[in-house]
C-alpha cells in the first residue's frame, strides 16, 4: 500500500514493513503526476526492520503496488 509520495520518494507498506523507495517526481504532458523510481536504491526496509534486505520478489511486489496505485489515478511511473 502506498503510504506517502513526496518529490524524492514513495513510502510503501508491505506485510507490515515500510520501504522508502527513492526517485524523482516529474510532471508529464498529461497533467498528472509522474515519478521515476530508482530501482538500485530499493535495498532495505525502514526502521525497525532496517537490517532486513528487501528480496527481489519483495521489490517486484513493491513496484506492482506502486504501479497499481498510479494507474488508478492515471499517473505515470517509470523505473530506472
The reported pLDDT for the residue numbered 30 is 81
State the pTM of this model: 0.92
Neighbours of 7 (CB within 10 A): 9
Give per-residue pLDDT as tens, 23-37.
Answer: 999 998 888 899 999
CA distances from 38 to 16, 25, 42, 48, 63 (A): 23, 11, 7, 23, 11
On average, the pLDDT of the chain sits at 96
**Residue whose cell numbers read 522508502:** 20
* Per-residue pLDDT at 62 exceeds 90: yes
CA distances from 43 to 3, 13, 25, 69 (A): 18, 14, 20, 21
Rounded to 5 degrees, what are φ and ψ at 32?
Answer: -95, 180
Amino acid at each position: 500500500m502506498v503510504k506517502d509520495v513526496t518529490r524524492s520518494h514513495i513510502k510503501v507498506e508491505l506485510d507490515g514493513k515500510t520501504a522508502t523507495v527513492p526517485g524523482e517526481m516529474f510532471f508529464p504532458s498529461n497533467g498528472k503526476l509522474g515519478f521515476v523510481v530508482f530501482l538500485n536504491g530499493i535495498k532495505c526496509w525502514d526502521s525497525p526492520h532496517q537490517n532486513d534486505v528487501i528480496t527481489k520478489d519483495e521489490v517486484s511486489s513493491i513496484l506492482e503496488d506502486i504501479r497499481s496505485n498510479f494507474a488508478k489515478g492515471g499517473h505515470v511511473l517509470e523505473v530506472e
